[in-house]
Amino acid sequence: MKEPVDSTEFIPSLRASIVKWRQQGKKGVWIKLPIGLVSLVEPIVQEGFRYHHAEPDYLMLVYWIPDTPDTLPENASHRVGVGAFVLNSNGEVLVVKENSGEFKGTGVWKLPTGVVNEGEDIPSASIREVKEETGIDTEFMEVLAFRQSHRSFFSKSDLFFICMLRPRSFDIQKQDLELEAAQWMPIEDYVNQPYNKEHQLFKYVAEICKTKAKMDYSGFSAMPVGPDSGKETYLFFNNRDFN
């Protein structure tokens, strides 16, 4: 729906349509209502519609016509984040100190992290975050590990991918808004920070990075498997073992 319409006009027309759709055997009715048409939300809900999802500028309402169980697809359930393990040829890892959030003032040097934007590929997101936070250009290599957690945000879950990147530049340009400091740090110093010893998740992640740096650890690399709906689709798998 795009054009303004009065509820005294819209609701009778919606009712007539649902009668027709029921006869035609249609099942689900979707109304994508721009926030500018907010005055229609209440009358539409009074017709028996429920919320499906919302974005800043619209609300999606749904109605299931038949008496069978509702098979409408579920809403998005996960937020996705990335952490970047960028190792240079001197065995140093790119680390940052954040000046807000839970790490503020802790002195902990951590991997650059960020949220994957809607429609963004995991490799691109990890490259973008490193560039934004430190100015370093990188190339995506592998996903080394990922974590699933729950209730990170209301009832939503969280998937967080640790990505290994190869640096293409070396001079750090720190982003001032989010960061107190950024540097290249010997990987042993990064791993041996007390915080990484005391927190099981961080300990594993640090040890996995160290194993990758020193020895033979194969993560999942990204294989383009053809565009779908105009965007690239990637399959991530253990390409070393596969070959």
Which residue numbers are catalytic?
132
Task: Please report how close the Cβ of residue 197 comes to its own copies at its closest, in angstroms.
Answer: 14
Task: Please report how close the Cβ of residue 215 comes to its own copies at its closest, in angstroms.
Answer: 8
Residue type, 11: I
- A 10 A CB-CB count for 137 gives 14
Task: Please report how close the Cβ of residue 79 comes to its own copies at its closest, in angstroms.
Answer: 5
Distance, C-alpha 183 to centroid of its chain: 26
Task: Please report how close the Cβ of residue 111 comes to its own copies at its closest, in angstroms.
Answer: 14
Token pair 């729950």: residue: 150
Q: Which is nearer to its own copies, 20 or 214 (CB)?
A: 214
Token pair 């952490």: residue: 83
Helix (H, G, I), strand (E, B) or coil at 25: coil
Q: Which is nearer to its own copies, 193 or 221 (CB)?
A: 221
172 by Cβ neighbours in 10 Å (0-12 / 13-18 / 19+) ranks as middle
- A 10 A CB-CB count for 231 gives 9
Hey, what's the torsion of the CAs at 23, 28, 29, 30, to 10 degrees?
A: -160
Q: Which is nearer to its own copies, 3 or 216 (CB)?
A: 216
Task: Please report how close the Cβ of residue 228 comes to its own copies at its closest, in angstroms.
Answer: 5
Q: Taking a C-beta distance cutoff of 8 angstroms, is the pair 95, 183 a contact?
A: yes
Q: Taking a C-beta distance cutoff of 8 angstroms, is the pair 38, 4 a contact?
A: no
Q: Which is nearer to its own copies, 25 or 56 (CB)?
A: 56
Helix (H, G, I), strand (E, B) or coil at 84: strand
- Residues whose CB is less than 8 angstroms from the CB of residue 211 and which lie 6 or more positions away in sequence, other chains included: 217
Q: Which is nearer to its own copies, 15 or 50 (CB)?
A: 50
